[in-house]
Amino acid sequence: MVDVHPSGYAEILLRVLAISGYGLWIWLGMGLALGMERIGRCDMRMPLILGTALVGAGLLLVRLRPPATSDWYGWPPGRSRGASRAALMALVTFLPVLLVIILDDGHGHTPAMRLAGVALMLCSLVSLVYTAYRYRSRLSPGLQRVSSSLPVSRLVTAWYGGGLWLWLCTMAQGGLEPPHSVYPWILLLLALALLLGLLEGLRWQSLGAPHGAGSSDMDMRNVPPARFVAAIFIYVLPCAALLLTERFGGGLLAAAVAVPSCLLGKMLEQRVYETALAGELLAAG
């Protein structure tokens, strides 16, 4: 059983970057599995390298040894000489990336390239879900109950954040080629934002239920104001940028606003949530 301590902002940033990187890999794996060579004018190599850099940011947690260790890969810094199963799974996920780079000879997609895309997608999914389940399995039964939606929430967070990063890469390389429209892509990201908002709302409702005297609704007086500020950065600003892009253009500027806004919001929200989770543990004790 692990202790719950609020993580520092630097540690949370590395985790959010890594989750976004896995989401970017999932998008690319799906595209490669479907035989896509490009996304609009965006070459696959740029988002692939970007995703590798973002996922690599999470591996820095093993070396930085932050004061509030969150067991991101189940490899507590300074407590174990050998890598854990979660850490090994994270390292194995880099193998499909290397395979895609080796097979990408510029002559179209072969069946081997499609299989590499499937492997990249599946390895990213498994690593994301496994780290979430492993973290929950080491919590107390009460905290396991209030964090039951964590694996699904982390997965949708990865899809949403990775989608925003992919949108930024696409816009940076010239956007979508005619006759393709950004409208379906915008609708998909808006749907993911809505789904993520619902899941995060359920997480906070579960956390606040014990204080509601049997009520299933969370007492709004117990909701930290910082959570609403985080929601503005995670959902309102990126979604507004998406909608304004379809109506007025300027996709690169909008993407450049949406991506850091989502990062900042997830950092703030996770910090507030971990603080509330630690308070839940103290109240239960």
As beta bridge partners, residue 42 has 39
Name, in order, each residue with C-beta under 8 angstroms of 210's C-beta and a sequence gap of 6 or more: 142, 146, 280, 283, 284
pLDDT on residue 179: 45
Q: How many CB atoms lie within 10 A of CB 141?
A: 8
pLDDT on residue 211: 38
**Which H/E stretch holds residue 28?**
helix 9-33
Q: For residue 94, with 0-12 CB atoms within 10 Å meaning exposed, 13-18 middle and 19 or more buried, which class applies?
A: middle
In this prediction, the residues of the chain whose per-residue pLDDT falls under 50 are 1, 67-70, 77, 178-179, 209-221, 282, 284-285
> Cis bond leading into 225, ω under 30°?
no
Contact 110, 103 (CB under 8 A): yes
Contact 69, 76 (CB under 8 A): yes
Residue entry with tokens 């510029």: 106
pLDDT on residue 69: 46
The crossing angle, in degrees rounded to 10, of helices 85-92 and 45-64 is 160
Residue entry with tokens 């509330």: 276
pLDDT on residue 134: 79
Q: What are phi and psi of 183, to 5 degrees?
A: -60, -50
Q: What is the pTM of this model?
A: 0.84
pLDDT on residue 190: 94
